[in-house]
Structure 1
């Protein structure tokens, strides 16, 4: 290891690339950088690791967040928050735009243009001597900030982690349920999310801030959680989510003891007490070519009928005023181009993450790297499927549990489903409790994720939106796992189906998004041996994978290109 660098909190790893032209780079986002995936999920993990890598290269990196903290003392201002891994983190207080996006959903006019806020941001960047600005999220800012920064003489790079610039809901999903092929000039947006007014949220955040200062952060958070539980209890009765309710009647097979009674199906007959939770919505079925159909709708994408329509036009304008826009997948680039982004400004920069590389090395160092993990004709254990993500509707866990319900008993018995999902998974666990082949393991962190490679053989990606370049997809592929994926968004660029007509090496299989029956068919095909499951080595050979050092040096080369160094 090299000696401790004054700009970092640790030694520089041996062999890490160093810049010959140190710059001052400003990164814009909304989440607290130090929380990484815990706040802002994949976007913040990507932004934070890029920032840390740039510091290791020798750059000075400044981070500015906005839209989270509010104060009784009026007026916008920017203050230092912390230094994390050598990155100087600042936050904008009392932003007219809240973050994350849902909190600001009913504020499209301010989101399109916030002149005073943009002036404050530009003034701060100038004071800091910033050479180049890299936006990873403008949630909490006005879209006019990109043009204002450019007018001040600083180059701007915008990385697209989602679709926020053209959709305040972020995912291009209407009502958290169905893909929004036509936003009807903005009229459909008006009824998309049931969110409170921005001023109401600001008051709540001021109250939370006061509670933190008077009681401490932990106590304030406990009060907040307790209040939510009391409200939930009042709405849903006395059931406590996450606690298995006692069965109201005994097991119907109680008298059998160890005798199977000639019954082959492993399903259990549970009789949990009823709860008053909301019934699950049936997924909206999509065609296998939903990606292409969305791009064909370019004539409706920029129709303008209200403030939401004007916000979308402002978002496209912001991207066209940037020097370079860097989506992580080709599909994301083509979608934004179909909405009016100048194709010459778009350049695909794939994700690279330290934990991707750790997962990849673990797979390569395994004694089983060259072996198929499971063969139908010789199997002595179940085929193990892994779902990693959250319970949010866009991730498609509802599609998976419905697919499991549709499996024939003899197929299901030859499966094991490992579900690791952040959030309240009680409703899903209760529905799946009758199947001993389904195991819920709760949320996970990056270290658990690296260790999870031995838990499953096939990844499942049942998302219902144009998922940009899901980190979980890359985690599966770096682990050498083939994927059953909805053919939506960036997955279509990355996954080569085993049944491709060209005979190319494959790393997965597709099914139409939102169609549990089609996912059940794919699971059945694998269990019955209709497709051979590739080895980790074969998955790696079939996939273009980017390392973390490659990602950071690619971004650094873009900075050098734009700054003329």
Structure 2
């Protein structure tokens, strides 16, 4: 079987761009090889020539390909509101030429649509391969990819694109093509070292630009009220192209499946297919008690100091925690400082709680040590986070998870008692009080939950979706409670 994977960035990118999707693709490589599957990896939307030219495809390494000079730019923020997100005939022609030259492919598996015009789905369909799209984010539904309006609230409706037109606090920078072209040239001629210097310089420029345009006390800076024409009906067009061309649309959590169907994607195409992780193959970690021997609770927050991730909600909630609860609650924090102004806040919170330990950034290999004191992980996301990697990392270490009701983080534990309405401080406090009073115990967590699969098991599920319906084999996966399905991470 020959399977072509598409993402806007290569999983072998020397800069390590692409976040969780690229890491997922890298983890999939050994499983694909072990199953005898010939995999190809295509990326688009990043590589640009210094001198503008027509889009073309090129081979980067055995089995690795890219489109150069393609539109739209990637990631999505760089092409926000651009009509090329729907159609760009020169890029579509280059994609078709690539498929003719490297095919036939049995399956074309899109781990993303960023960096390609959505009409590339029609070209992939015409190639004759089985067409599978996996929703790691909400790009077809949201040009910001995360259904997060004006950096402050979850977005339930794009209002036909009008809401999108006033969404961004900071519009895409000018000269995007030139910026990408310089980055491409520096990487090819100077290697990652020269490119890192360039990134630091442009990062500083962006930070200064953002600070100058930072909203004042009254709220967000004034934004254009009218939507660019490309945003009018963008979601409806994306949904139509997916519904008409995809053979299967895979959702990385059940929450994503339900949301996608609600937005109009065909229910018969949508299938829940949670990503696998190599760490799930390790011996099971014992479930950790929620409270320590003295009856105290240690919470753990891992990830980013960002509003959409719920970090500032968590700070607000812990600062407002009643004194009798605060005296019995500690916090383990693993997140890089995003703003020096937060440091005094964290120092004040340390004095208020029973304890606070902070890792200012972390590597995955540090997590065992960092999370050793914790009894309950917290994933308080305010946006519909598809399936947060940090939730899997804590779950696989034997921690129960206290989560908001948004996104897929609640699914590994399947414990409604440890789920609270997103952004509801009073409900968050009530869950903590119930844990401290013994009304919620470790035994309540994980019964029938969706524990992560290892990569070979995940690949077997993928192969079901890669086969036409009449050929799909039955794949038996292990089931059961948390004790049998909570292997540790290294």
Alignment partner, residue 56 of structure 2: 77
Q: 1:379 aligns with which of 291, 294, 298?
A: 294
What is the distance in 2 between the residues matched to 1:515 and 1:280? 23
Q: In structure 2, do the counterparts of structure 1 residues 200 and 562 end up closer, same or farther at CA, with 3 Å as the change threshold?
A: farther
- Is 1:312 aligned to 2:235, yes or no? yes
Any conservation in 1 of the 2:415–2:446 contact (CA below 8 Å)?
Answer: no
Give the CA deviation at 1:200. Answer: 1.5
Alignment partner, residue 44 of structure 1: 22
Alignment partner, residue 459 of structure 1: 377
SS at match of 1:164: coil
Give the CA deviation at 1:370. Answer: 6.0
Alignment partner, residue 489 of structure 1: 407
SS at match of 2:466: helix
- Is 1:550 aligned to 2:431, yes or no? no
SS at match of 2:468: helix
Any conservation in 2 of the 1:429–1:440 contact (CA below 8 Å)?
Answer: no
SS at match of 2:268: helix
Any conservation in 1 of the 2:289–2:375 contact (CA below 8 Å)?
Answer: no
Q: In structure 2, do the counterparts of structure 1 residues 217 and 475 end up closer, same or farther at CA, with 3 Å as the change threshold?
A: closer
Alignment partner, residue 347 of structure 2: 433
Alignment partner, residue 222 of structure 2: none
Alignment partner, residue 531 of structure 1: 440
Q: In structure 2, do the counterparts of structure 1 residues 339 and 225 end up closer, same or farther at CA, with 3 Å as the change threshold?
A: same
Q: 1:150 aligns with which of 96, 107, 125?
A: 125
CA deviation map 1:61-91 (0-9, x unaligned): 00111111211241212222345xxxx2222
1:61-72 equivalences under 5 Å are 61-72=39-50
- Is 1:134 aligned to 2:83, yes or no? no
What is the distance in 2 between the residues matched to 1:279 and 1:431? 20
List gaps (5 residues or longer) in structure 1. 1-22, 238-275, 283-303, 364-368, 500-508
CA deviation map 1:316-361 (0-9, x unaligned): 1232110111112222122222222121111111221102444xx2
What is the distance in 1 between the residues matched to 2:251 and 2:231? 23
Alignment partner, residue 265 of structure 1: none
- Is 1:111 aligned to 2:85, yes or no? yes
SS at match of 1:70: coil
Alignment partner, residue 122 of structure 1: 96
Give the length in aligned residue pairs.
457
Alignment partner, residue 449 of structure 1: 367
SS at match of 1:134: strand
Q: 2:175 aligns with which of 165, 190, 200?
A: 200
- After TM superposition, the score normalised by the length of structure 2 is 0.84
Q: 1:60 aligns with which of 38, 47, 50?
A: 38
- After TM superposition, the score normalised by the length of structure 1 is 0.73
What is the distance in 2 between the residues matched to 1:196 and 1:235? 10
List gaps (5 residues or longer) in structure 2. 220-226, 473-490
Q: CA RMSD in A?
A: 3.1
Q: In structure 2, do the counterparts of structure 1 residues 212 and 156 end up closer, same or farther at CA, with 3 Å as the change threshold?
A: closer
Structure index of larger Rg: 1
What is the distance in 2 between the residues matched to 1:458 and 1:36? 35
Alignment partner, residue 3 of structure 1: none
1:248-397 equivalences under 5 Å are 306-320=229-243, 321-358=245-282, 361=283, 363=285, 369=286, 372-374=289-291, 378-379=293-294, 382-397=296-311
